[in-house]
């Protein structure tokens, strides 16, 4: 397990979300496409991987449209509340990864 790799990528994703002035939907897409999507099952515990898989499923539900991928197609249709819920989940996963990383 490479928890440090997962920590680094979730740290970058959370930092991006906090610093960005983009919409919640754009922050969510940017965090996932920019950093989170590269984390793999071998990088985290099975419990965290299950949560990351749920996040992935939620962010890739709609087919790609034109030049935008499935993540942007999906997040662009989310309400602010839905996007906020998934951003909260990213933060929560990051907190759990941090606990493991500092172990």
Structure-token pair, residue 83:
């996007």
| CB under 8 A, 24+ apart: contacts of 47-51 | 48/6, 48/93, 48/96, 48/97, 51/89, 51/93
Query: What residues form DSSP beta bridges with 65?
Result: 68
Residue burial 17-51, b: 16+ Cβ < 10 Å; e: rest: beeeeeebbbbbbbbbbebbbebeeebbeeebbeb
- Separation between Cα atoms, residue 78 and residue 83, nearest integer Å: 6
- The average confidence (pLDDT) of the chain is 96
Global confidence as pTM: 0.95
The three-class DSSP label of residue 89 is helix
Span 19-75, pLDDT tens digits: 999 999 999 999 999 999 999 999 999 999 999 999 999 999 999 989 999 999 999
Span 84-102, pLDDT tens digits: 999 999 999 999 999 998 8
The three-class DSSP label of residue 65 is strand
């Amino acid at each position: 397990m490479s928890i440090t790799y997962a920590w680094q990528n979730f740290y970058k994703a959370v930092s991006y979300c906090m610093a960005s002035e983009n919409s919640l939907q754009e922050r969510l897409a940017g965090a996932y496409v920019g950093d989170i999507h590269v984390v793999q099952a071998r990088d985290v515990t099975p419990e965290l991987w299950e949560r990351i898989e749920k996040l992935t499923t939620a962010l890739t539900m709609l087919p790609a449209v034109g030049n935008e991928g499935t993540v942007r197609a999906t997040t662009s249709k989310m309400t602010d509340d839905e996007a906020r819920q998934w951003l909260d989940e990213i933060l929560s996963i990051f907190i759990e990864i941090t606990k493991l990383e500092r172990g």
